[in-house]
A and B are shown apart, each in its own frame.
Chain A
Amino acid sequence: MNEVAITIIDRQGVKHELQAPTDMNMNLMEVVRSYEIEPEGTVGICGGMAMCASCQCYVESSHELSTMSDEEEAMLSEAFHVKDNSRLGCQIPITEELEGLVIEMAPES
């Protein structure tokens, strides 16, 4: 099975339990878009360059994620609604380690 089960809580608070492929070079922002969890045009505006923070999410489970790049950190330092567990979905590749991941989408800004 080249899939992991992840849970995404959308901006309305609705929980989506879904399967994300680990073998398609996808990131978390793209998973959110492929399942149309948020209205089109409100997530991944910059296309995944860590330049807009529209895919900001809060990591609610205790998964060890890849460390933040300078670009991601810089963007988050400028973004709104940032918490300690904030990440940019576009900077998190879907890997086997994400099995059971729970994230919540940050509000649109």
Chain B
Amino acid sequence: MITTDILIIGAGPTGLFTVFEAGLLQLKCHLVDALPQPGGQLAELYPKKPIYDIPGYPEVLAGELVDNLMKQIEPFQPGFTLGERAETLERTEDDYFIVTTNKGTKHKSKVVAIAGGLGSFEPRKPEISGIEKFEDRGVSYMVKDPEQYRGKKVLIAGGGDSALDWSIFLSDIASEVHLVHRRNEFRGALDSVEKVQELKNKGKILLNTPAEVVEIKGGDSLESLVIHNHQTDLTKEVAVDAFIPLFGLSPKLGPLSDWGLEIEKNAIKVDHTLDYQTNIPGVYAIGDVNTYPGKLKLILCGFHEATLMCQSAYARIHPNKRYVMKYTTVGGVTGFDGSKKEAPKAVVKTID
């Protein structure tokens, strides 16, 4: 069981900045995110794109902003549970929350801050009838352990970087690698495209384009796939052990929608007049995941919401303590790691 003061669901910019504001109040944070790295959308979708509306930064790359936030919160030693999706929320009798992930990791805290952005990133599943039946019985939407494909016949569908990269990687491991894409053109790093071309010429990758998997066959587990080629209009059946559709990720609110929270417009309703608390006392929602009249899904608004939320969380965690906000310029930043940053003292000295 991981215990902390504020459990933050979502390690995007809003979730990361929460660690800083909480840290100033001497509150510890732990973050849970379904993605394997912190940064949320910024890291996953557009790390190389510039952002122009972060106060004080005329221009900053999304990936750079994440790096800076990680550096800014480092003194407050946040914990991370990455690559796991927050699945359930329970309330204990002594008024704590327990959040459990899809992998069974449990987190206990007095306050839960949902900074889930657009939701957790889930693989986009092609609409092939009956595909669900074969999930984990030959069909998987991501490659977790490449070794499981050793000596197997694998078919990868998709035309982006991950489809190219895994085709290349698995061509050394699997006995047969098929790559099916709806177009003749692939979009990816140039060297990946060239490498696939080379492996195709050597017969190590069996390419079928422009084509699509239209049917999936099998008994208890996957046995074969029917592929339709759009150019020749021919259909053929390929015997395979594994089918890996790689069509990118799309965000879904997912299990959060079963937590008893008030949801409106695919977002969580909060008290915008005070502290961004949800209808469950002690559970807050900040950043893109919340909604209130006049809501704007901007990173800078998420930062503001995180700041106010932390004040409320402090009062909840320490109901009997008095607190007055202190400027970092005055009070400096004292990390849990013993580090201390502060403004240099002015010199008081007589000039003769």
Given the complex of chains A and B, what is the CA–CA distance between A65 and B55 in angstroms?
37
Q: A42-B266, A74-B187 are in contact. Are A80 and B124 (CB under 8 A)?
A: yes
Given the complex of chains A and B, what is the CA–CA distance between A98 and B297 in angstroms?
29
* Interface residue stretch chosen among A6-14, A46-54, A87-95: A46-54
Asked if B214 is at the interface (CB within 8 A of a chain A CB), the reply is no
Q: Which residues of A contact B251 (CB under 8 A)?
A: 45
Residue of A nearest to B246 (CB): A78
Task: Name the distance in Å between B179's Cβ and chain A's nearest Cβ.
Answer: 14
Contact B267 A40 (CB under 8 A): yes
Task: Name the distance in Å between B142's Cβ and chain A's nearest Cβ.
Answer: 15
Asked if A25 is at the interface (CB within 8 A of a chain B CB), the reply is no
Given the complex of chains A and B, what is the CA–CA distance between A47 and B265 in angstroms?
16
Residues 110-139 of chain B, each 1 if its beta carbon lies under 8 Å from chain A, else 0: 000000001000001011000000000000
Interface centre among A45, A70, A77 (most CB of B within 10 A): A77
Interface centre among A41, A42, A73, A109 (most CB of B within 10 A): A41
Asked if B189 is at the interface (CB within 8 A of a chain A CB), the reply is no
- The majority secondary structure among interface residues of chain B is loop
Given the complex of chains A and B, what is the CA–CA distance between A49 and B46 in angstroms?
9
Residue of A nearest to B264 (CB): A40
Contact A78 B248 (CB under 8 A): yes
Contact B127 A109 (CB under 8 A): yes
Q: Which listed residue, B118, B124, B126, touches A41 by the CB 8 Å rule?
A: B118
Contact B247 A78 (CB under 8 A): yes
Task: Name the distance in Å between A10's Cβ and chain B's nearest Cβ.
Answer: 16
Q: Which listed residue, A39, A49, A109, touches B45 by the CB 8 Å rule?
A: A49
- A interface size (C-beta, 8 A): 21
Task: Name the distance in Å between A69's Cβ and chain B's nearest Cβ.
Answer: 12
Asked if A101 is at the interface (CB within 8 A of a chain B CB), the reply is no
Asked if B39 is at the interface (CB within 8 A of a chain A CB), the reply is no
Task: Name the distance in Å between A102's Cβ and chain B's nearest Cβ.
Answer: 25
Asked if A82 is at the interface (CB within 8 A of a chain B CB), the reply is yes
Contact B45 A41 (CB under 8 A): no
Contact A41 B159 (CB under 8 A): no
Given the complex of chains A and B, what is the CA–CA distance between A40 and B158 in angstroms?
28
Contact B187 A77 (CB under 8 A): yes
Task: Name the distance in Å between B63's Cβ and chain A's nearest Cβ.
Answer: 14
Given the complex of chains A and B, what is the CA–CA distance between A80 and B250 in angstroms?
12
Residue of A nearest to B158 (CB): A78
Q: Which listed residue, B41, B127, B159, touches A77 by the CB 8 Å rule?
A: B159
Q: Which residues of B contact A80 (CB under 8 A)?
A: 124, 126-127, 247
Q: A74-B187, A78-B159 are in contact. Are A40 and B45 (CB under 8 A)?
A: no
* 8 A-B pairs with the lowest CB-CB distances in the bound complex, closest first: A41-B266, A40-B265, A74-B187, A77-B183, A77-B159, A78-B247, A51-B45, A78-B248
| Interchain Cβ contacts under 8 Å between A and B, 10 examples | A41-B118, A41-B265, A45-B118, A46-B41, A70-B187, A74-B159, A74-B187, A78-B158, A80-B127, A80-B247
